[in-house]
Chains A and B, each alone.
Chain A
Amino acid sequence: MEYGLDLEYSFNEFLKGFGLSSEIAHIIWLPLPMLLVLVAAVVGVLVTVWLERKISAAAQQRIGPEYAGALGVLQPIADGLKLLVKEDIIPAKADGILFTAGPILVLVPVILSWLIVPFGQNLLISNVGIGIFLWIALSSIQPIGLLMSGYASNNKYSLLGGLRAAAQSISYEIPLALSVLAIVLMTNSLSTIDIVNQQSGAGILSWNIWRQPVGFIVFWICALAECERLPFDLPEAEEELVAGYQTEYAGMKFALFYLGSYINLILSALLVSILYLGGWGFPIPVELIAKFLNLPINAPFIQVFTASIGIVMTVLKAYLLVFIAILLRWTTPRVRIDQLLDLGWKFLLPISLANLLITAGLKLAFPQFFGG
């Protein structure tokens, strides 16, 4: 299955053409994909913010942003600039160091997790062996940042919000990890590349969503809860807690939280599409299209076509899920904290455990369908 563009190899060969050693070429190459992914994440956030404003307006029969650029597409940039030039305030009785470190600890693990998001066979920063497990481990750092900022604000609403956020993210991490485990069981690998390749056999029919419908729903609910999106946005709950752990934050530090939550939403949507919706796979397998056009799979045209289709499909699937998340946010009421914890511990946890057990059983019974 080793086909697709290998940009790193071509780039290194190109630089070696100028007489550079392979080590220097590697060092020049290293920051490029990271920068590209960082830019992609930030642009993705801008698009999501614009979508959120427009869709919420449509859901409430308003027009939404209209004058900043065509259809208000420049509105998120204006928002970002506003946050950038605002005064950076640290409350007098707050703990300065922890107050500053909190938002950083919330944002950095989310951005680091983009390491494993593949947009094509070779289009990811690093195909690390522990793959999806890296994301689960990194996302467990976030509660510390939330607790830190909640505590350092020296404000009871912030502290309560931070404690709620940490409790929520800990309780939903377990069903999340269990539903990922069922996928890993079917793939025999933790690597995101292998997870997508395992679903690429027969186009849309071989996507994991058909084999793991329960896991898909559990994962999506948990991902929404981890992102603190509306049915589960108790940590911020404006009516009860002002703005939770973000209450005392302003300017760039608030922007870090804001950016973090939206990058996390896009990341979750991308991971749902990778784990359950075939990642970069086109609903019709590319091999069939190549055969139909009478072209070999290694032809340059097909290679470029596959790579661009891969990126478009990944982003399209992810944004479809982002759309659903936004629609959910503006049409559903918030759950209470006891309902939230009941749902997490008494419903999702047993369901995902049973799902894991049944997947293991089916894998033994039908190895050709559930990964032998």
Chain B
Amino acid sequence: MSIAITTQFICFTVLSLVILIGALGVVLLESIVYSAFLLGGVFMSVAGLYLLLNASFVAAAQVLVYVGAVNVLIIFAIMLVNKKEDLKPINDIKSRRIISTTICLTLLSLLIRVDLTNVWSLSSPQNSIGEESTIRIGEHLFSDYLLPFEVASVLLLMAMIGAIVLARRDVMSKDISTGLPVDQELIEKKAEPLLTNKN
């Protein structure tokens, strides 16, 4: 084995182990903050796998979107609402666990089937595009994947408008979660300059 291949193999093993152990930690750890930070580590390792596959643009996009945006948002949400309270015990925890395990195993078997049936090897090593992938991705986004791309942007716009409506309480007279009338006093008042108009 040449040095390059050995390095690749070591990187692949380490990244896969980090992904597996980290993902298990995300699910099994009691502390939600640790889970959120571990999730960031898993996202980073997935980006590392993309790098090993010569897809550097996808790797950078993975870091930017999943670590830089999604994970930061998750941690933000946890820290803003982090109340020190015990979770309520759930009555039918056993049946819920059985159902979720079944669903996960079904998904896993689906993935394994995809893995076994798909032809992974390239017809020739010259077919790997490497650095050119950025251009190819752009071409695809503006030709055959144009509709999914635009639909995704509409989806994001909807999410944004929804978030604005939820955050700006003066749009609605009733609180959405509790149904009580909104205390209009709490909504932003017009700022009064501190130094003027004072006798």
Contact = CB atoms under 8 A, between A and B. Distances in A.
A101 B41 CA distance: 12
B56 A143 contact: no
Interface stretch (A128-136, A198-206, A271-279): A128-136
Interface in B22-49: 33, 37, 40, 44
Contacts of B37: 98, 101, 144, 148
Contacts, number: 70
Interface residues of B, number: 26
A23 B2 CA distance: 9
B71 A133 contact: no
- The prevalent SS among residues of B at the interface is helix
A180 to B, nearest CB: 12
Given A137-B63, A138-B63, A147-B72, A190 B134 contact: yes
Interface residues of A, number: 27
B48 to A, nearest CB: 13
B75 A147 contact: yes
A109 to B, nearest CB: 9
B51 to A, nearest CB: 10
Contact of A133 (B57, B72, B80): B57
Contacts of A98: 33, 37
- The prevalent SS among residues of A at the interface is helix
A158 to B, nearest CB: 11
A7 interface: no
Contacts of B15: none
Interface in A158-175: 159, 162-163, 166-167, 170, 173
A166 B61 CA distance: 19
Nearest to A21: B3
A159 B81 CA distance: 13
A151 B61 CA distance: 27
A308 interface: no
B67 A144 contact: yes
Interface of A: 23, 27, 98, 101, 128-130, 133-134, 136-138, 140-141, 143-144, 147-148, 151, 159, 162-163, 166-167, 170, 173, 190
